Structure 1
Amino acid sequence: MGDNAFLLSFLIVFALVSSFKFAKAQMVPAMFVFGDSLVDVGNNNYLPVSVAKADFPHNGIDFPTKKATGRFCNGKNAADLLAQKVGLPTSPPYLSVSQKNASSFMTGVNFASGGAGIFNGKDQSLGQSVPLTKQVGYYESVYENLVQKLGLSGTQKLLSKSLFVVVVGGNDLLDYSGSSDLQKKSTPQQYVDLMVLTLKELLKRLYTSGARKFVFSGAGPIGCIPSQRIKNQTDKESCNESTNALAVTYNEGLKSMLQELKSNLNVISYSYFDTYAMLHNIIQDPGTYGFTEVKAACCGLGKLNAKIPCLPISKYCPDRRNHVFWDLYHPTEATAGILVDSIFDGTSQYTFPMNVRQLVTV
C-alpha cells in the first residue's frame, strides 16, 4: 500500500508540473507579473486605505463583464493581453488568492499595484499601494508554497519555463519630476542610477527564487500623458520634455543593467520592449495606428479631460478606440493592444535582444 500511495503522489505531482504540455495554445506554464497600474488587475481593490483604485465606473466599460474590476483602463490591460498571447488565463491578483493553496499559483500570479514604484514612496508607506520590494517578497512566499507542493525540482522546472513580466519605473520618474525636494537631493542621473541599482537587486532575488525568463517594459514618453501636458505653462498642451528626458535616461540605464545581469547570470533570458519609441511613434503618427486623439484623456473632466480623474461623475468619449489615453495617466485597451502586439511579435526596432515569441522558445 505504501508503494502505491507513493506512486499516486508522484503521478499527481508530475501531472501538475506537466499539464501545460497538453494545452496546445499554452506556450508557457505560468506568468508572474510585477509593476504598477499599467498591469494591475485588481490588487489595489484589497488595500483598505488606498486612494489609487479603479473599482468604479467608468473603468471597465469595455471589459467583457462591462464592469470595473480594478484595472485602470476601459477594458483589458497589457497583463490581460499578454496572457492571451501565450495562451494563459489572466494571472489573478495576489491579494485575492494569497490565502489559498499552491494550486492557485500554478499558472501564475499578478503582484502589480497601482501607484507602485521601484522606491517605496510616501503613498506606499501609507499602505496605498504595494511597492516592488513588497511584491518580490510576496513572490518569494509563493515560491516557498510551490516548493512545498511540487518539490524543489518540480518548482524549478515550472518556473524556468514561465514568464516574469516587469512593468515599473514610471511612478518613480513622475515623483522626481514633480518634487523639488527630490531634485535637491540628487541629480536626474543620480536618481535614475539608484532606481536601476535598486531594481537590479530585486531581480537577483527573483532569480534566486527560480525566475529565468524576463519581460521588461521600458518607461514610455510619460511627459506626453495628459496629466503632464496640462502642466505645460504654454497653451500648446505639448509634452513635458524634461520628464521625457528622464524616462530616456532611465531606459538607457535599464538596458545596460540587463545586459550586465545577463553576462553575470548566463542562464537568464529576457526581452526588453522599447515602450518609449513605440508609444512616441503612435503619438507622432496616430492615423497610422487608427487614432485621432493623442492629447486628451477619454475619461475625465477639465482641460484635456485631465483636471479631474476618471470618476463616476466624469465624462467619457463615445469611441474609445480612437483615443490613445483612457484617463490622465493610462492608455486605452486599443493602445495597450498595439503595444502588446509589438512586445510579442515586434522587430529588433522595438524588442531587444528578442521578442516574447522568441523568448518562450529559448
Structure 2
Amino acid sequence: MASICVCGVRGFWVVFLVLLRLGCSEGQMVPAAFVLGDSLVDVGNNNHLPVSLAKADFPHNGMDFPTKKATGRFSNGKNTADFLAEKLGLPPSPPYLALVSNSSKSNSSSQFLTGVSFASGGAGILDGTAEKYKQVQSIPLTKQVEYYLAVHESLVQHMGSSGAKQHVTKSLFIIVIGSNDIFGYSGSSDLRKQHTPQQYVDLMASSLKDQLKHLHSYDARKFAFVGLPPIGCCPSQRNQNKTAACKEDTNSWSRMYNTALQAMLKGLKAELNDISYSYLDTYAVVQNFVLNPSAYGFTEVKAACCGLGNLNAKVGCLPISHYCPDRRDHVFWDLYHPTEAAARMFIDKVFHGAPQYAYPMDVQQLATVGG
C-alpha cells in the first residue's frame, strides 16, 4: 500500500505530493475507497471482536482466495468490495480494526490513503440489530461512521484540512448494509408488532440518511449504494419452506426497503446537491441469477456450497462442513453469502454500461465525477 511521510507538513506541497502518488497513479480512478457495511463486504474486522460469533476466520472460508487462507471474508474467495476495488484500480480496502491494532499513531494515516473498510458481519443500519436479534457482536453503522471520523481526523492531521478535503471528496464511499435489519424484522414478532413493514423500512432509510449526512459533513461526496438482494432466496430462508421455495415475505420487505432507499437518495440529492451516487440494483441482478442460472454459468441456486443438512443450510460453513467441488457452479457459498463467482459477476454487471442495474449512473461514471 502506498505510503508517504507528510507528518507536520501543511499546504501546497502536501496536496501536490499526495495527488502525485495517489490521485494520478496509472489506472487508479479514485484516490480511495471507504467501505461501510455488513458481512457481504467484511474483510476481517470481526476477527478483532473478541466475543463475536459472526466470524469467518477459519476453513473452508478463503479456500479460493489468493493466499488459500481464511481472512475473515464470508466467501470462498474475494467479495464484492474486493472486485469493486480492482475495477477502481485500488488495492482492497483493509480492515480498520487490523490497522489500528497493528499500527502506531505516527504512521497510521499513510495506511488510510487508499481507503479502509469498516464493514462488520452482522451489522445493521439500526443500532442493536445484530446483538438483539442475532446474538452476535458486530460494529453497527453508527460506530462505523465514528471510525471514519477518526480516519478523517488522521488524514487532516497529516495532509492539512484542504489536502484531506480534496482527497476525500474525490474518493468513493461504498455502502452495503440493510440485510440484517430485514432478517431481524423477519425473526422478531416484537418488531412486527411495533412496526408495519412500511414503517420499519422507512425507519431504516431515515436512519441511514442521518448517517449519510454525518459522512457528508466530513467531506464524503460520492456514494455507491448496494441495494438489498432477494434475501428470501438465500439458503437459510429457503430452508424454512418445505418446498425450498424463496421466502416471499422477506423478499417483499427487501423490495420495499429498496424503494424507500431510492426515494431517500433522491431527496438527499435535492437537499445536498454536491453529492453524487449510484444505486446498484442487486435485487434484479441476483434474481436473474436465480431465475435463469444457466445463462450465467450456474447450476445450483438453492443450496449453499458449504454447510451441512438440508440445502447445506442447517449449519453454516464450519471446518466440519461439506463443500462443493466447483464453487463456480453455485450462487451461494454458505447459508447467507454469495460465492466469489457470483460476487464477481455482480460487479461486472453494475460497474459499467448497465443502466438497468445501476442508476442514475454506473460506478465507473460515478468514479469520474469531479475528477
Q: TM-score per shorter chain, which class?
A: over 0.9
What is the CA–CA distance in structure 2 between the aligned matches of 1:317 and 1:340, rounded to whole Å? Answer: 23
Equivalent residue, structure 2, for 1:219: 228
Once the two structures are superposed, residues 87-117 of structure 1 have per-residue CA deviations (whole angstroms, 9 ceiling, x without a partner) of: 0000110001125321110000100000000
Structure 2 residue matching 1:270: 3-state secondary structure? strand
Asked whether 1:107 is paired with 2:114, we answer yes
Q: Is the 8 A contact 1:17 1:154 kept in 2?
A: no
What is the CA–CA distance in structure 1 between the aligned matches of 2:247 and 2:10, rounded to whole Å? Answer: 62
Structure 2 residue matching 1:295: 3-state secondary structure? coil
Q: Which of 307, 310, 318 in structure 1 is aligned with 2:317?
A: 310
Once the two structures are superposed, residues 259-291 of structure 1 have per-residue CA deviations (whole angstroms, 9 ceiling, x without a partner) of: 111111111000000100110011000000000
Once the two structures are superposed, residues 197-225 of structure 1 have per-residue CA deviations (whole angstroms, 9 ceiling, x without a partner) of: 00000000000001000000110000000
Equivalent residue, structure 1, for 2:296: 289
Residues 8 and 39 of structure 1, relative CA distance in 2, 3 Å threshold: closer
What is the CA–CA distance in structure 2 between the aligned matches of 1:86 and 1:124, rounded to whole Å? Answer: 34
Equivalent residue, structure 2, for 1:277: 284
Q: Is the 8 A contact 1:17 1:150 kept in 2?
A: no
Q: Which amino acid aligns with 1:164?
A: F
What is the CA–CA distance in structure 1 between the aligned matches of 2:257 and 2:193, rounded to whole Å? Answer: 18
The RMSD of aligned alpha carbons is 1.7
Once the two structures are superposed, residues 156-202 of structure 1 have per-residue CA deviations (whole angstroms, 9 ceiling, x without a partner) of: 10011100000000000011011111111111011111000000000
Equivalent residue, structure 2, for 1:145: 154
Report the CA distance between 1:360 and its aligned residue.
1.1
Residues 224 and 120 of structure 1, relative CA distance in 2, 3 Å threshold: same
Q: Which runs of 5+ in 2 are unaligned?
A: 1-7
Q: Which amino acid aligns with 2:54?
A: A
Asked whether 1:189 is paired with 2:198, we answer yes
Q: Is the 8 A contact 2:14 2:163 kept in 1?
A: no
Q: Which amino acid aligns with 1:18?
A: L
Q: Which runs of 5+ in 1 are unaligned?
A: 1-5
Once the two structures are superposed, residues 225-252 of structure 1 have per-residue CA deviations (whole angstroms, 9 ceiling, x without a partner) of: 00000111xx320000000000000000
Structure 1 residue matching 2:224: 3-state secondary structure? strand
Q: Which of 287, 290, 301 in structure 1 is aligned with 2:308?
A: 301
What is the CA–CA distance in structure 1 between the aligned matches of 2:256 and 2:52, rounded to whole Å? Answer: 30
Residues 38 and 122 of structure 1, relative CA distance in 2, 3 Å threshold: closer
**How many percent identity over aligned positions?**
61
Q: Which amino acid aligns with 1:299?
A: C
What is the CA–CA distance in structure 1 between the aligned matches of 2:362 and 2:333, rounded to whole Å? Answer: 26
What is the CA–CA distance in structure 2 between the aligned matches of 1:194 and 1:239, rounded to whole Å? Answer: 25
Residues 298 and 7 of structure 1, relative CA distance in 2, 3 Å threshold: closer
Q: Is the 8 A contact 1:47 1:127 kept in 2?
A: no
Equivalenced residues, count:
356
Structure 1 residue matching 2:35: 3-state secondary structure? strand
Residues 124 and 135 of structure 1, relative CA distance in 2, 3 Å threshold: farther
Equivalent residue, structure 1, for 2:244: 237
Residues 137 and 8 of structure 1, relative CA distance in 2, 3 Å threshold: closer
Q: Which amino acid aligns with 1:55?
A: D
Once the two structures are superposed, residues 122-164 of structure 1 have per-residue CA deviations (whole angstroms, 9 ceiling, x without a partner) of: 5447771000000001001111111111111101100111000
Structure 1 residue matching 2:279: 3-state secondary structure? strand
Q: Which amino acid aligns with 1:184?
A: K
Residues 9 and 118 of structure 1, relative CA distance in 2, 3 Å threshold: closer
What is the CA–CA distance in structure 2 between the aligned matches of 1:7 and 1:325, rounded to whole Å? Answer: 49
What is the CA–CA distance in structure 1 between the aligned matches of 2:115 and 2:340, rounded to whole Å? Answer: 22
What is the CA–CA distance in structure 1 between the aligned matches of 2:334 and 2:126, rounded to whole Å? Answer: 24
Equivalent residue, structure 2, for 1:3: none
What is the CA–CA distance in structure 2 between the aligned matches of 1:268 and 1:9, rounded to whole Å? Answer: 25
TM-score (norm 2): 0.93
Structure 2 residue matching 1:228: 3-state secondary structure? helix
TM-score (norm 1): 0.95
Q: Which amino acid aligns with 1:289?
A: Y
Report the CA distance between 1:21 and its aligned residue.
3.9
Deviates more, 1:140-149 or 1:116-125: 116-125
Q: Which of 72, 75, 78 in structure 2 is aligned with 1:73?
A: 75
Residues 127 and 137 of structure 1, relative CA distance in 2, 3 Å threshold: farther
What is the CA–CA distance in structure 2 between the aligned matches of 1:262 and 1:147, rounded to whole Å? Answer: 26
Structure 1 residue matching 2:368: 3-state secondary structure? coil
